[in-house]
Amino acid sequence: MTPDAGEFADRVVVVSGGGWNIGRAIARAFAGAGARVVVASRNADRLAETVATIESAGGTALAVPVDMTDYAQVEALVATTHEAFGRVDVFAAIAGGGCVHRPIDEYPVEEWDRVVRQNLTSTFHALRAVLPDFRAAGDRGVFITCSGGGANYPVLGSPLNAYACAKAAIARFTDQMTAELWETDIRIHCLEPGLVWNPDTIAQVEAEERATGQRHPHREVVRPPDDAAELALWMASDRSRPLRGRGISVCDEWWRDRAEVQRVHETVHLFRLRRVEE
């Protein structure tokens, strides 16, 4: 489902975690659809690479180094975007990660706090900082959160408790904030990108495969970051109306069908934190 080249013309989109992988793919996709894009992350070099790829394709992008766990920096990010482009129409809160694979009885307390702040707290910071812009636009805007492994069901054989709890909380945050903002035209959706390997992981897996001569068992389920980008654009577009507060996975197909979108709209419980289907 490819958007028109100008579908997001004159729209301003902020993407946290925009330095690489999923965030970079989302930023590039919005820019390719005509949006002016602000990319934010802690790594200035990666941000510069993202901006370069967007500008080389004829798009408009601005890099703003930000630690999303520091609220003052997130406020400054929104202020910088406002100064550069006048407003924020869409905020994709993709910053996160930092998963620690340790049994709970060996899990460092400080690592738990870090993972929760990097995922859940950064998402709260993003919405809290951008809401004034959405309010000023007549209570209009789109906010995209990012779920992940363990949010909807336990992940067997992989102890990632803090990450799973943070991602489940993000899904619940999406649902609760939708209820809180129900009388507005501020739409929030939670994107589930599937298993996406970043470039470092891909290099590590390829080295292991060369050493063992065996194909990695997760090869069949890994998704490219462009799948998440396609879904993010759909969430932010008028094509996703009138849905609000839904958790949608790249593995789903229903959102590509208008009749199915209407069916989901007519239910209360479909694609919430617990993904129960009729």
In a domain? residue 277: no
- Write the CATH number for 141: 3.40.50.720
- How many independent structural domains does the chain possess? 1
Domain holding 150, by residue range, is: 12-265
- What pLDDT score does 199 carry? 79
In a domain? residue 121: yes
- What pLDDT score does 188 carry? 96
In a domain? residue 146: yes
In a domain? residue 270: no
Please pick, among 71, 107, 153, 163, the residue that the annotation labels catalytic.
Answer: 163
Asked whether the beta carbons of 192 and 250 are under 8 A apart, the reply is yes
* Residues 38-57 as b or e (16 or more Cβ within 10 Å = b): bbbbbeeebbebbbeebeee
In a domain? residue 272: no
In a domain? residue 271: no
List, in sequence order, every residue forming a beta bridge with 249; answer none if it has no partner. 192
Q: In angstroms, rounded to a whole number, what is the distance separating the alpha carbons of residues 13 and 246?
A: 20
List the chain residues with pLDDT less than 70: 1-5, 153-157, 197, 209, 273-278
In a domain? residue 86: yes
Identify whether 153 is a catalytic site residue. no
In a domain? residue 43: yes
- What average pLDDT does the chain have? 89
Q: In angstroms, rounded to a whole number, what is the distance separating the alpha carbons of residues 244 and 235?
A: 9
